[in-house]
């Protein structure tokens, strides 16, 4: 495995399955002895060094970094992380920032700087239209919890979806109607060639005046200059961004100091070994028993 969290993974996995011999990259010993690879943000090219590897367990939900590795061994299963801890933490992030905008917190913050006591009104949650880009593992959980707060939730996906309480749009023809009704746009899409740059000038212009954007997916989804222009024109009222084209976000990047942008350092959803290790072990056991593991990455789709 490769990760600064390796000691915790080692402790958890070997407690659950004492037969596991756990090696931490780069001290992997003989590459031909490695059966399962656990990786996250690996050094491109390294994964092809293990001729007897039976699977790669990617310790994150988004596999964009992995699938762009030209030396990725494509003949073995690639399993991505689906984990309750990660899912809950992403939902917390979505709720935190949706509520921040719904309750007009940026405006209250501005009023406070002028010692101005103004009781701005906000709509009932059921009249606040949230639009989720993506309704997969993470989007579905966020949608369900937003519904608990009574928000009016819609989602846009590649294929048709039906999740009770969620208004569904899909494909190219569904994109514009989805945007037109969305006041708080939340991106939880995988980064693929189809979704790269999806938050661009046209998308932002289709949102209603005063809409806000929360990007919890990947920096590559946003065309940075288009977002800044839409914020500066006043059409978009604010943006919360967790992910960036370059991470860490370079100190000179205009996002850091833009008055309408909140930056968080790629912490929206976190992988917790404590909850994730069991799923990884279950995947290894399935493969060892000749069964297909859960949460396989579809390399043709890229997620
Ligand atoms: P899933 O694969 O479970 O869901 C992906 C969703 O996106 C599906 O609803 C899918 O639709 C939709 N989608 C994919 N491509 C398109 C497209 N071209 N057009 C419309 N919809 C599309 O992924 P997860 O929910 O587990 O994770 C989503 C992403 O969140 C990850 O890929 C990762 O980049 C990001 N992430 C960010 C984190 C952070 O800390 N900032 C933490 C964890 C994840 P369909 O089902 O129809 O194919
Ligand atoms: C992930 C991430 O994809 O942390 O899991 O971004």
Whole-number Å distance between alpha carbons of 138 and 162 = 15
Catalytic residue check, 218: yes
Q: Which atom of ligand 1 is nearest to the CA of 189?
A: 7
Each of the 303 residues of the chain gets a pLDDT tens digit; together they read 767 789 999 999 999 999 999 999 999 999 999 999 999 999 999 999 999 999 999 999 999 999 999 999 999 999 999 999 999 999 999 999 999 999 999 999 999 999 999 999 999 999 999 999 999 999 999 999 999 999 999 999 999 999 999 999 999 999 999 999 999 999 999 999 999 999 999 999 999 999 999 999 999 999 999 999 999 999 999 999 999 999 999 999 999 999 999 999 999 999 999 999 999 999 999 999 999 999 999 999 999
Ligand 1 neighbours (beta carbon < 6 A):
61-62, 86, 90, 134-139, 156-159, 188-192, 194-195, 216-218, 242-243, 266, 268-269, 303
CA–chain centroid gap for 7, Å, is 25
In this prediction the pTM is: 0.97
For residue 218, what are its two tokens?
Answer: 């990947």
Contacting residues for 10 by C-beta, under 8 A, at least 6 apart: 1, 22, 24
Identify which ligand lies nearest to the alpha carbon of 87: 1
Q: Which atom of ligand 1 is nearest to the CA of 80?
A: 26
Q: Which atom of ligand 1 is nearest to the CA of 243?
A: 41
- C-alpha angle with apex 12: 9 to 17, nearest 5 degrees? 115
Catalytic residue check, 80: no
Instruction: Ligand 2 pocket test: pick from 38, 42, 62, 217 the residue with the most ligand atoms within 8 Å of its Cβ.
Output: 62
Task: Quote the strand ranges of the chain, DSSP E.
Answer: 36-39, 55-58, 78-79, 129-133, 152-157, 167-170, 184-187, 211-215, 236-241, 261-263
Q: What share of the chain is helix, strand, coil (3-state, %, to 5)?
A: 40, 15, 45
Query: What spacing in Å lies between the alpha carbon of 209 and ligand 2's midpoint?
Result: 31
Which residue among 10, 128, 218, 221 is the active-site one?
218
Closest residue by Cα to atom 33, ligand 1, is 62
């Amino acid at each position: 495995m490769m990760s600064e969290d390796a000691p915790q993974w080692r402790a958890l996995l070997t407690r659950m399955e004492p037969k596991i011999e756990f090696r931490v990259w780069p001290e992997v010993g003989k590459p031909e002895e490695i059966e399962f690879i656990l990786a996250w943000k690996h050094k491109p090219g390294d994964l092809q060094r293990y001729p007897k590897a039976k699977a790669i367990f990617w310790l994150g939900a988004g596999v964009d970094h992995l699938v762009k590795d030209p030396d990725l061994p494509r003949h073995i299963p690639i399993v991505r992380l689906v984990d309750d801890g990660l899912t809950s933490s992403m939902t917390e992030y979505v709720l935190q920032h949706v509520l921040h905008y719904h309750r007009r917190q940026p405006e209250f913050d501005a009023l406070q700087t002028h010692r101005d006591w103004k009781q701005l009104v906000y709509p009932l949650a059921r009249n606040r239209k949230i639009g989720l880009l993506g309704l997969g593992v993470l989007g579905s959980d966020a949608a369900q919890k937003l519904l608990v707060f009574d928000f009016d939730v819609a989602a846009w996906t590649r294929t048709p979806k039906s999740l009770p309480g969620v208004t569904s749009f899909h494909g190219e023809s569904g994109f514009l109607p989805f945007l037109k009704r969305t006041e708080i746009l939340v991106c939880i899409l995988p980064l693929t060639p189809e979704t790269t740059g999806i938050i661009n000038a046209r998308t932002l212009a289709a949102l209603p005046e005063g809409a806000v954007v929360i990007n919890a997916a990947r920096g590559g989804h946003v065309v940075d200059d288009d977002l800044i222009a839409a914020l500066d024109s006043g059409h978009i009222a604010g943006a919360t961004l967790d992910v960036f084209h370059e991470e860490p976000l370079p100190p000179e990047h205009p996002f850091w100091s833009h008055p309408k942008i909140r930056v968080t350092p790629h912490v929206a959803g976190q992988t917790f070994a404590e909850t994730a290790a069991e799923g990884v072990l279950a995947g290894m056991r399935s493969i060892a028993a000749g069964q297909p593991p859960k949460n396989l990455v579809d390399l043709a789709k890229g997620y």
